[in-house]
């Protein structure tokens, strides 16, 4: 939209088309050149857009504790799932590796052994590099 004023007017028109009891359309304004959208941050970096994993401010990092009474494959699967999400939502290698470091700390806080974290993370990253020639070939 050309301006915030015009965007607000557009959203008012859209929301006026439905009764008050219906769902309304909302608008999120960028803050520090970032706007959250569908579980990712869209970041304006000069003339380019970058993406990263978005976590709500209320996120506590609470996931499945390692000590939970579940089969170990669920613990490994969770690590793989969040790594895959980080890879798919990160537009470059630095953003991805920064998210990996955050995830390592998160899983460490959930009592996951570093051997399990490394044994899951290292092959995941190696497979990305081998499959793509380099980690972010698909973003070029």
Inform me whether the pLDDT recorded for 108 exceeds 70: yes
Answer whether residue 137 shows pLDDT above 60.
no
Q: Is the Cβ–Cβ distance between 83 and 124 less than 8 Å?
A: yes
Question: What per-residue confidence (pLDDT) applies to 22?
Answer: 65
Residues in the chain: 140
Task: Note whether 63 and 78 are within 8 A (CB).
Answer: yes
Mean of pLDDT values over 130-138: 62
Higher pLDDT among residues 3 and 26, named by residue: 3
pLDDT tens-digit readout, 49-95: 999 999 999 999 999 999 999 999 999 999 999 999 999 999 999 99
Kindly state the DSSP code that residue 103 receives in the 8-state scheme: H
SS3 for 45?
Answer: strand
The structural domains of the chain, with segments of one domain joined by +, span: 1-29, 60-139
């Amino acid at each position: 939209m050309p301006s915030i004023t015009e965007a607000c007017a557009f959203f008012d028109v859209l929301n006026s088309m439905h009764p008050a009891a219906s769902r309304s359309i909302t608008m999120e304004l960028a803050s520090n050149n970032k706007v959250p959208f569908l579980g990712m941050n869209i970041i304006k970096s000069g003339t380019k857009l970058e993406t990263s994993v978005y976590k709500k401010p209320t996120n506590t990092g609470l996931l499945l504790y390692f000590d939970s009474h579940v089969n170990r494959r669920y613990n490994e699967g969770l690590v793989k799932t969040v790594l895959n999400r980080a890879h798919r939502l990160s537009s470059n290698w630095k953003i991805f590796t920064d998210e990996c470091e955050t995830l390592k700390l998160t899983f460490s806080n959930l009592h996951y052994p570093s051997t399990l974290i490394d044994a899951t993370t290292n092959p995941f990253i190696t497979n990305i590099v081998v499959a793509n020639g380099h980690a972010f070939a698909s973003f070029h």
